[in-house]
Structure 1
Amino acid sequence: MFTVFRHPIPTPPCIARLNYIEQYFIPIHMNNRHYTTALVILVLLLAAGMRGYGIVERGLVDYDEAWYLLEAKTLYNTGKFALAQIGILDEPDVALGLKAFIKKRGTVPLTSIKPGHTAFLFLGLLAFGPHDYAGLFMSVISGLLTVYLVFRLGKDIFGLRAGLLAALFLAVSPFHILYSRSVYSQANGIFLVTLGAFLWHQIHSTGDRRLLSLIAPGLAVGWAFTCHFNLAYVPVTFMALEAIAIVLNRNRFPVARNRIKRLLILGCSLAAPAAVIESVGQFFKWLGVFPADYPTYLGQFAHRKPLAEALQFSTDQVPFWSSRLLQIEGAAALILATIGLAITMANLRKGSTDRALVLGLVLVALLPPSILSVAN
């Protein structure tokens, strides 16, 4: 027998065997805090080694990586130039200013439409200097933080063993290592989504009813969307999760007005990063830094209209993604992940917020690429 939320249910024989295997592979003394900490550190060191080894010598491989870094370096150099103009810096950086950069680009889209990712790279340039590896370092850091957050989230929902196994799986995941060793936006976007999920779960697992507590997870997921426009469905998913959580925990939120306020605050927080970026763009247009006909962040999405119109509901992409996952992650890893998901879901009470979050994260990862494709 195992107990979930004080509701004992019989353990199926297959699940009992899998639980035995899990305990065999991680025979840890759960009450030994130092031992547990050592295991977490070992997993993080493994993740750091696989993501950071030889990262300085890797360089930029793909054109997109160079373009993302160019946007961040342009912002960095423009800031230095502006500081020099007002006397804060003694020597102005003779580099391509933002206005000249936009004029030189001259094509559509004028940027990568991933300003949240550009902000990450800009922070990397501030921290590590204007070097190509600064962007790589930020992906490595995001990857490591994601591994740790997966451990925390798994531990909080399923227990310590499950959290360690989940973190270990992600630490050695070839797909995640690939993006954590590049200047692509995926590592940063996934980190922010995971951070948002962790913060959101903390709110509901601790019974926090403060309305303003929803701002932090909303901002994290909203920033993730600005890292990559393909994450547009993630904010919608979190709005749905919050609505489901309100229904499941209606006793905690008896006042209908407060329920609506929760959804409004979360929705505004999700939209805030994109709104701030758009406002900055409009302000620069008003100052004359951007050309009058320059489409700002939201305006540039209009140039993606033909692609959006070509989207169709189809399962054409399922064979492609399935074969790619098999090729990169391996059949054994996918089988173990499926078994692990079955074990954990069996240990979650039906109608719980935890179950809704896990199912939501699984669906948000698998459903869009499974049912959407671009015509022709």
Structure 2
Amino acid sequence: MKNNKVTLVIFFLILSLGGVLRFNHILDLGPFMADTAWRLSETRFLIESLRWIKEKPRFIAIQEDLGGESPTDSFREFIIAKNLGEFVPTNAKSYLTFFTAFFYLAFRLPLEDAGNVMAATFGVLTILMAFVLGKTLYDAHTGLISSAVVAVSAYQIIYSGRGFELSPAIFFVMLSTYFYYRSRSLEENSISFLWLTGLSAGIAFGCHTSLSILPVILLLYEVHLFLSPDRLPLEKHVKRIGVLVISTLIPLLIAEIVYLYLRVLTNYPHFTYFEQLLFRFRQQGGWSRRVDADALILPRTLLILEGYVVTLLLLGGVVSILRRWLSDHRISLADLIIFTQFLLPLIWWSPHHNHIPRLLLLSLSTLPLVSARGGLALVGFMAARVGRVSLPQMITVFTLIVLVTGSYNSWELTNLKPGYKAAFEYMGSHEGDKHLSTLPYVSDVYYKGSFSPLIEGLAISNIKRLFTNGGYKYLLVDWQKYHLLKHTRYAWLYRVEKECKPVHEVSNSVGLYKPFLYENSYSPETLGQEMFNSMLQDQGMGLIKIYDLADVVKLP
């Protein structure tokens, strides 16, 4: 009883610390990454489309169409008036958009803060889910250490509204894993838990397409059941697989219906959800299997983002699971679940040309449990040699060590300030003047009045034309300019930064934080050591700079 109270007290401490690390300065951040800003634009597109439908019912649009007025043109004028331009949703992350829209409407948050608050909330729920999952698969000690790893992980905090909003994906993967384990351990409710497993997996996939491997892994668990001594009659196996497939498709069908509903009622040719999926897979299919880069980039990235302590525990957990497997000549369901969900995505994505850490979202769902098993193996080894300290006491001390070292590694992250709000306050003081931007999606979120971004790469001659005839006055350059500078057509930016003096500068501390660099495919392996070092030494990485185009067009 006493141990249970101590466990609950420590877990409350973990949950509180995780909440502080996620919500600290959350309303000062706003969007500062292209992915988040794009999603906010999609959220606005979704909400404004529904408002247009409410104000202009479909039968009125049909009457206008018969009368010669196109409802498509009417809707296009409406969204242009809302600063959405020709926006078309293509990211196939519909449930992140739905969750953001819910927080925006339910809590009346500013749109630029709604996504961050949503992700931070799911980030705290992920800590709770890590404890429940660890306790269910193993014991309370595993749950406690797992929740501690999640609470202070810089990787998890980044996905909880610090640049990215992917914590819902991790949460629903964990939830799906929990329900699946229950479906195998509670025979009387197995089908009900399977329905919940598939629904959670479908929502997770609707948050990020890299989780397409999750349904495959769930089917792998069914193969494990079929080959185990406890296998069921064939018809029950077929029923289980059918339930899994159908329940996984239901959330995706709901997303398709929502976007199809919008397209039918607005008569505007934007992508439905399934069309977004096809677009994404077609876009990525051509290069995703190219093995032309270092296959160890993602493992090294884990080391950078998770830190040395968690990485060592992770290795210990993998070794302890393998040792049990080899000694027992069989693997338990719990070990199979955490081992495959951590290792298979790492093996699958590491040889790919696109080495973005967020591809390892599935691995992040069980990484804390694998680390916890490694930590418990270490604690058990030490407890056997230190007789004066009980195992629960040693686990408590070990959990506190994880919290302290992890907080030290991640606290810097909670104090990073991107500076975009301040930069656009300056731009807002010049209302009516358009600007060019190296990060147009972020610019689009903050736009007021007649500001508008420009995405295409331009030569100096084109900039002169836009300055003279288009009403453009400013150029905003941020640390993500290196996405653009991979292409030679952006070489003019080098000249601008070298030869022109900015009219305004804002501190942008995220540009020098390595995890954000790795999340944007900036690493010594992808860019080359010389280019990577030059980026870290570039003072512009820590600044958002605004240039007057009148100075830029003077360049020869």
Aligned runs of 1:26-41 on 2, under 5 Å?
32-41=3-12
Equivalent in the alignment of 1:219:
199
Equivalent in the alignment of 1:114:
93
Q: Does structure 2 conserve the Cα–Cα contact (< 8 Å) formed by 1:225 and 1:232?
A: yes
Q: 1:8-39, CA deviations, whole angstroms, 9 ceiling, x for partnerless residues? A: xxxxxxxxxxxxxxxxxxxxxx7533222111
Higher Cα radius of gyration: 2
Structure 1 stretches (4+) deviating beyond 6 angstroms? 96-99
Tell me how far 1:315 sits from its aligned partner: 7.7
Equivalent in the alignment of 2:61:
none
Equivalent in the alignment of 1:336:
313
How does the TM-score come out when normalised to structure 1?
0.79
Q: Which of 120, 123, 133 is the equivalent residue of 1:140? A: 120
Q: 1:316 to 1:135 in 2, by over 3 A?
A: same
Matched, 1:309 2:286: yes
Rounded to whole Å, the distance in 1 between the matches of 2:119 and 2:76 is 24
Q: Does structure 1 conserve the Cα–Cα contact (< 8 Å) formed by 2:177 and 2:197?
A: yes
Tell me how far 1:140 sits from its aligned partner: 0.8
Rounded to whole Å, the distance in 1 between the matches of 2:185 and 2:2 is 22
SS at match of 2:289: strand
Q: 1:345 to 1:166 in 2, by over 3 A?
A: farther
Rounded to whole Å, the distance in 2 between the matches of 1:346 and 1:152 is 25
Rounded to whole Å, the distance in 2 between the matches of 1:76 and 1:283 is 13
Q: Which of 102, 108, 123 is the equivalent residue of 1:123? A: 102
Aligned runs of 1:162-311 on 2, under 5 Å?
162-182=142-162, 184-208=164-188, 210-248=190-228, 250-251=230-231, 253=232, 255-287=233-265, 289-291=266-268, 293-304=269-280, 305-311=282-288
Q: 1:164 to 1:144 in 2, by over 3 A?
A: same
SS at match of 1:232: helix
Higher mean C-alpha deviation, range 40-49 or range 275-284: 275-284
SS at match of 2:6: helix
Equivalent in the alignment of 2:20:
49
SS at match of 2:187: coil
Q: 1:135 to 1:244 in 2, by over 3 A?
A: same
Root mean square deviation of aligned Cα: 3.0
Rounded to whole Å, the distance in 1 between the matches of 2:148 and 2:271 is 44
Q: Does structure 2 conserve the Cα–Cα contact (< 8 Å) formed by 1:314 and 1:372?
A: yes
Equivalent in the alignment of 1:17:
none
Q: Which of 300, 311, 331 is the equivalent residue of 1:323? A: 300
Tell me how far 1:242 sits from its aligned partner: 2.7
Rounded to whole Å, the distance in 2 between the matches of 1:301 and 1:78 is 21
Rounded to whole Å, the distance in 2 between the matches of 1:248 and 1:50 is 43
Letter in 2 for 1:220: S
Equivalent in the alignment of 2:529:
none
Tell me how far 1:224 sits from its aligned partner: 0.9
Rounded to whole Å, the distance in 2 between the matches of 1:278 and 1:31 is 51
Tell me how far 1:102 sits from its aligned partner: 9.0
Rounded to whole Å, the distance in 1 between the matches of 2:342 and 2:77 is 42
Rounded to whole Å, the distance in 2 between the matches of 1:78 and 1:233 is 32
Tell me how far 1:188 sits from its aligned partner: 1.4
SS at match of 2:159: helix
Q: Does structure 2 conserve the Cα–Cα contact (< 8 Å) formed by 1:223 and 1:273?
A: yes
Letter in 2 for 1:342: V
Letter in 1 for 2:106: A
Aligned residues: 333
Aligned sequence identity (%):
24
Q: Does structure 2 conserve the Cα–Cα contact (< 8 Å) formed by 1:237 and 1:360?
A: yes
Equivalent in the alignment of 2:34:
63
Q: 1:97 to 1:367 in 2, by over 3 A?
A: farther
Equivalent in the alignment of 2:360:
none
Task: Note the residue ranges of structure 1 that are not aligned, 5 or more in a row.
Answer: 1-29, 87-95
Q: 1:23-68, CA deviations, whole angstroms, 9 ceiling, x for partnerless residues? A: xxxxxxx753322211111111111111111111122212321221
Q: 1:210 to 1:303 in 2, by over 3 A?
A: closer
Q: 1:290 to 1:197 in 2, by over 3 A?
A: farther
Equivalent in the alignment of 2:334:
354
Tell me how far 1:206 sits from its aligned partner: 2.7
Q: Does structure 2 conserve the Cα–Cα contact (< 8 Å) formed by 1:135 and 1:183?
A: no
Letter in 1 for 2:272: T
Q: 1:331-350, CA deviations, whole angstroms, 9 ceiling, x for partnerless residues? A: 23201222244346656762
Letter in 2 for 1:114: K
Q: 1:77 to 1:368 in 2, by over 3 A?
A: same
Q: Does structure 2 conserve the Cα–Cα contact (< 8 Å) formed by 1:78 and 1:98?
A: no
Q: Does structure 2 conserve the Cα–Cα contact (< 8 Å) formed by 1:277 and 1:297?
A: yes
SS at match of 2:350: helix
Q: Does structure 1 conserve the Cα–Cα contact (< 8 Å) formed by 2:122 and 2:167?
A: yes
Q: Does structure 2 conserve the Cα–Cα contact (< 8 Å) formed by 1:151 and 1:167?
A: yes
Q: Does structure 2 conserve the Cα–Cα contact (< 8 Å) formed by 1:200 and 1:214?
A: yes
Higher mean C-alpha deviation, range 275-284 or range 59-68: 275-284
Tell me how far 1:82 sits from its aligned partner: 4.8
Q: 1:235-254, CA deviations, whole angstroms, 9 ceiling, x for partnerless residues? A: 22112223323432644x2x
Tell me how far 1:373 sits from its aligned partner: 2.5
Equivalent in the alignment of 2:133:
153
Q: 1:181-204, CA deviations, whole angstroms, 9 ceiling, x for partnerless residues? A: 336342111111111111111222
Q: 1:156 to 1:366 in 2, by over 3 A?
A: same
Letter in 1 for 2:248: L
Q: Does structure 1 conserve the Cα–Cα contact (< 8 Å) formed by 2:115 and 2:161?
A: no
Letter in 2 for 1:168: A
Tell me how far 1:141 sits from its aligned partner: 1.2
Q: 1:97 to 1:230 in 2, by over 3 A?
A: farther
Q: 1:158 to 1:99 in 2, by over 3 A?
A: farther
